[in-house]
Structure 1
Amino acid sequence: MLVRRAYIPESRRPGAFDAWPYTVPCVAELVERGLTFTAPVTMLVGENGSGKSTLVEAIAEGFDLDAHGGRAGRKYANDRPKTPLGEVIALETTPAGGRMRSGPRLRKKGFFLRAETAFGLMNAVNGGYGYWQDDTSTMSHGEGFLTVFDAMFRDRGFYVLDEPEAALSFDSCLRLVALLHELGRTGAQVVCATHSPILAAAPGADIVEVGDHGSRRVAWEDLDVVDHWRRYLTDPSLYLRHITG
């Protein structure tokens, strides 16, 4: 592993908690207690608006990855203004993580894939040095994502993903699970925000559910999203009758 904990140093703590993002329960909890990473693969699972994307963006920035997406060590990656949480977050690293962060730019390994900006990023860097050579503009969105994963998620590095399932089919999600599991086995570290019960089931993943309660570690079978999908697939009418009248 490369990162043990994300936290807000005392000197950077906000003076008040009545403005976004500190009004989001999981962010307020990060300020108070930090977020500890206990496994090579961490899944942040929660509803829209729960704060999981806010967390992963800031965690990516804490490792000097661009919050808009891209690979570690990219020149000018730190020239963009950071997110409010990214401005104050700090990461407690392992010795290996510390050496990677403080070492030469080209030796930094990792990638931040953000579903919202991934398509534009793929078109912008397609065929560039240090990226992939296949032309993702001729592929479906999902095929493009898989091309990025295969090309960029290889080395022992720090990989952050924000809802990567957005473009993926069931089978493609399974391929991503296999890749993330293999990364974790080889010494890399993955932090992924997701709605997908498929991705959350990655073997050995530490699952953190975020919501109105803040954040809590749960078993896969106890996730709210797993319970909802199980009920829906058993009998869709249990849900549809409430929205179709």
Structure 2
Amino acid sequence: MFVDRVFVPHGLAPDRAERARWPFTVPAVAQLLNEGLTFMRPVTFLVGDNGSGKSTLVEAIAESFKLDAYGGRLARVHGRPDPTRTPLGEVLRADTTRAGARMLAGPRRSKKGFFLRAETAFDMTENLGGVPGYWDEDTSAMSHGEGFLTMFRAMFDAPGFYVMDEPEAALSFTACLQLVGLMHQLGERSAQVVCATHSPILAATPGADVIEVGDHGFRRTAWEDLELVDHWRRYLGNPNAYLRHIVP
């Protein structure tokens, strides 16, 4: 692993007026300010509904390891010559392991990290195929799902720190299963993955640490106890139990 914990140092903590503004009003962000977040396993999932703060958390976690919140490689800027930091990313810091400290202090060629966010990943698949340091295939000629999987296989190919925000956005059921296999393989090979997701398929990755994010803040939970899993199980068993409230 490369990061043991992320936290906001006392000297960088927002004052009372700043805490009254977004994103510090989000329960998960407020809890992070007070407690920090410890990583216990090589693969960690943040699972929660829209607006729960999971994307805000993973963006800042990426920035704490010198990844651009826009998305892209470690020590590289994709698409923004003068990147700005997110409000949480400005104050969040990472407690790195020895391996993490060595990587950040080492030469660029030894830095292995990538932040994938759904909003900018489509642009990457359209423009980075064939660019040195990325992937050889012409992903602009592929479906979004095929392009995503090509990107994953090319960029998540060695021990490094990999952060993903809703990577399932373009993936089918079977493609999600392929990503599960890749993330599990990364964890077994000394990489570290932090992923925000809505997907019960991804969150079921064997050996992963699952953190549920919501109005309560964030808490570790078992996959089978996730609210997300419960809703999907109920819906697939009886769609009408949900749809009768939606469709007249």
Correspondence for 1:9: 9
Deviations 1:69-119 (A, max 9, x none): 111132687840111111111000111011111212221101111001111
Identity level (%): 65
Shift of 1:123: 2.2
Amino acid at match of 1:199: L
TM-score between both structures, scaled by the size of structure 2: 0.96
Shift of 1:201: 0.2
Higher helix share: 1
Question: Secondary structure, in 3 states, of the residue corresponding to 2:69?
Answer: coil
Q: Is the counterpart of residue 215 in structure 1 residue 218 in structure 2?
A: yes
Gaps of 5+ in 1: none
Shift of 1:122: 2.2
CA contact (8 A) 1:5 1:91 kept: yes
Question: Secondary structure, in 3 states, of the residue corresponding to 1:87?
Answer: coil
CA contact (8 A) 2:41 2:209 kept: yes
Amino acid at match of 2:193: V
Please show how residues 218-229 of structure 1 align to structure 2 within 5 Å: 218-229=221-232
Does the C-alpha gap of structure 1 residues 8 and 97 become closer, same or farther in structure 2, counting only changes over 3 Å? same
Please show how residues 104-183 of structure 1 align to structure 2 within 5 Å: 104-183=107-186
Does the C-alpha gap of structure 1 residues 78 and 98 become closer, same or farther in structure 2, counting only changes over 3 Å? farther
Amino acid at match of 2:12: R
Q: Is the counterpart of residue 96 in structure 1 residue 99 in structure 2?
A: yes
Of the three residues 51, 54, 59, the one matched with 2:53 is: 51
Gaps of 5+ in 2: none
Question: Secondary structure, in 3 states, of the residue corresponding to 1:86?
Answer: coil
RMSD: 1.2
TM-score between both structures, scaled by the size of structure 1: 0.98
Distance 1:221 1:100 in 2: 36
CA contact (8 A) 1:110 1:158 kept: yes
Count of aligned pairs between the two proteins? 245
Distance 1:155 1:70 in 2: 16
Amino acid at match of 2:11: S
Question: Secondary structure, in 3 states, of the residue corresponding to 1:203?
Answer: coil
